[in-house]
Structure 1
């Protein structure tokens, strides 16, 4: 079964799809990342099954997570890279911007003080990394 197809699983037919929230919060995005990674496909002789609950892939939570992350601005390649990465705790920036975080118009980063002469500069804070679609 492909991601966009209707499921034939009886549970899916009774419960229907998990609704995507009207306005996404960082918590929704965090849970969606966990859903797509934990409920990834696992190959079996009968076909791909959900690694977590053994339902026909994609299960309800995987489909919900994909819809949330697509609504958040990720594309299919980025989603696939996120799933291949395999870490359910990867932090996706909120709000997600395709070209990276916004930079102040002056070029200075907000909250960074200029370094006085003779003082060593503090190491720059490292932003959390998440997988790139390559």
Structure 2
């Protein structure tokens, strides 16, 4: 964890995870995915040590919603699919 993340802490979860929250979480996990750098994995969006705050928040929301890793992968694939 970067020093700024130690100060800021974790992002709070919504009290009830809605379908809209799941959409935001999938976007966070997709945009803040890991990217390999010479000093290790970093967030491809903000270059923080991976997993960054938004990636962790997204995964926690998806876990709270009860989605399996397979279901998350399907939602990510749908998010990344070209739109007609």
Describe the SS at the equivalent of 2:35: strand
* Greater helix share, structure number: 2
Any unmatched runs of 5+ in structure 2? Answer: none
Match of 1:85 among 65, 77, 83: 77
Q: Work out the number of aligned pairs and report it.
A: 81
Any unmatched runs of 5+ in structure 1? Answer: 1-6, 90-134
* Pairs within 5 Å for 1:2-41: 7=1, 9-41=2-34
Match of 1:65 among 24, 39, 58: 58
Contact 1:38 1:51 (C-alpha < 8 Å) held by counterparts: yes
- TM-score, length-scaled by structure 1: 0.54
Greater relative CO (CA pairs within 8 A, separation 6+)? 2
Structure with bigger gyration radius: 1
Describe the SS at the equivalent of 1:43: strand
Q: Give 1:110's aligned residue.
A: none
- TM-score, length-scaled by structure 2: 0.83
**Aligned partners of 1:21 and 1:85: how far apart in 2?**
24
Contact 1:38 1:88 (C-alpha < 8 Å) held by counterparts: no
